[in-house]
Amino acid sequence: MRLILASQSRFRAGLLEAAGLGVEALAAHVDEAEVKQAARAEGASAEDTAMLLASLKAERIARRHPEALVIGADQMLVCEGAWFDKPPDLAAARAQLLALRGRAHTLVTAVLCQRGPQRVWQHVARPRLVMRHFSEAFLDQYLALEGEVLTTTVGAYRIEGPGLQLFDRIEGEHSEIVGLPMLPLLGFLRQHGVLPA
């Protein structure tokens, strides 16, 4: 069966490819900032908002490719009730990391599969991460090392790279943190005959 990832996230596509899945990645072009703002105004939870974004992405691609199984995903960072977005530049990334320093946050990670107009499966993971009390000297060194790639992630860090040094404790499976809960997704694909059992 044709598999399409409704995203051009190289992190998510890399997880799928590493697991041996042949998948196409297509951009869904959803205005995430507008959707989040409207959801927040309506009192929606971070879980519901992440699932809404994943759904909008999948629906948009599934309309154009109804024969395919479309994977939609989205991730929101929540710290003590505040929602964080991808920082627009390194100055914003620095401010965001300082705001998260010494605190726990949750990466609400939603994934769903859609075929044509029908949603056939969905899952939400909630890995919890605790940042250590790092020094500003360490932070400046980290920002210089990682550079603009930090503006492509909701947490302003890459857990699969030097960003691991930011943390004291991590609770959750690696792929959930990177942005796509792979073990539940692979289980669904096996159950529905997309992958061999």
Which residues are the active-site residues?
A: 74
Length of the chain: 197
Q: Which residue, chain included where needed, has tokens 């669904």?
A: 188
Burial 107-143 (b: 16+ CB within 10 A, else e): bbbbbbbbbeeebebbbbbbbebebeebeeeebeebb
- What value, to the nearest 5°, has the Cα angle with vertex 15 and ends 13 and 20? 95
R_g (Cα) of the chain, nearest Å: 17
Q: Which residue, chain included where needed, has tokens 């998510």?
A: 12
Residue 39 carries which DSSP code?
H
Contacts 24+ apart (CB under 8 A), 10-16: 11/153, 11/178, 11/179, 11/180, 12/73, 12/178, 12/179, 12/180, 15/175, 15/178, 15/179, 15/180, 15/182, 16/71, 16/180, 16/182
